[in-house]
Amino acid sequence: MSKKPELDGDELGPFGLKPWFSERVWGRRDLRPWYEETGTTEPVGEAWLTGPECEVTTGPLVGRPLGLVAEEFGEELLGMPEGGEFPLLVKILFPNDKLSVQVHPDDAQAQAMGQPRGKTECWYVLEAEPGATVALGLKPGATAAGMEAAIADGTLEQMLEQVFVEQGDMVFVDAGTVHAIGPGVVLLETQQTSDTTFRLFDYGRPRELHVQQGLAVTKFKTRAGKVAPQEMDGFVRLIEEQYFTVDRFELEPQEEIGIRMGGPGCLVGLSGAVAVITPNQEIELLPGQAVIIPVECLEVILEAEDGASLLRCFAPGL
């Protein structure tokens, strides 16, 4: 293993990350206007902004993957002296076809399987065609036996509640909620750092299903659904849950504001260019990119010469 690098000064400052592109059969080859290039000719379904594979692009840790930084600088980054995983996986989803019908376990269920945590998530709608929907939860009266029969005869979709979505909507997806995403949307997903997914139905595609595991963690009533935004002092709170808080900031041209994080997290650019400023450095945040803000960094200054919008995503429980 390479030697742990020395920091300039005593503090780990904010740092940029390079998106990591995940090839998926249901994805797209053209991700513009978010990304000009993906480094592959295969369909890309997900751009991971804070995945463990995402490489640092600024400062003394350039080239190091976020997963390694979280291990090496756990106290500075996470407030955890023993190190650990960055708690939030933020990604942008680009479906060109239907994703599988799937479900994720909660913490207790995942830990019973030997996994560190479950997977609760939320979707912020970046783009939506007229009439776009997401499948979220099961219709009243659904049972495990009925789901298993519907999986066998290819009618599981008919058991799912369809929710209309528009640009700017926030959707909460509780662990245990059976769900599916289709074409016609681009979503920014903020989730617990976990990739534990049980695929219940995949429209005949030759991929492995996890029917019994999925049925075992399915909850027939959850809190999943749209979340109403809250106007706060200088920003809009999109969602506040146990595992994550997501806020939206709009900066006017030449505006400068100071912001604090409520736990380890990141800033995600949506439009325009934002200068993320601390006493020792300045980092440019662009659309479709993330800048990590360590817990020991008490405040950063944001400045947008031509105006910009961005999200603040953090894990309040740590």
Active site residues: 199
User: What's the rounded Cα separation, in Å, for the pair 236 and 254?
Assistant: 20
SS (H, E, C) 57-82: CCHHHCCCEHHHHHHHCHHHHHCCCC
112's enclosing H/E stretch is helix 107-112
* DSSP codes, 148-177: HHHHHHT-GGGGEEEEE--TT-EEEE-TT-
Is the torsion defined by CA of 2, 8, 11, 13 positive or negative? Answer: negative
User: What's the rounded Cα separation, in Å, for the pair 296 and 310?
Assistant: 21
Is the torsion defined by CA of 151, 120, 271, 266 positive or negative? Answer: negative
The residues, ordered by sequence, that sit 6+ positions from 199 with a Cβ below 8 Å of its Cβ are: 100, 101, 102, 207, 208, 209, 210, 214
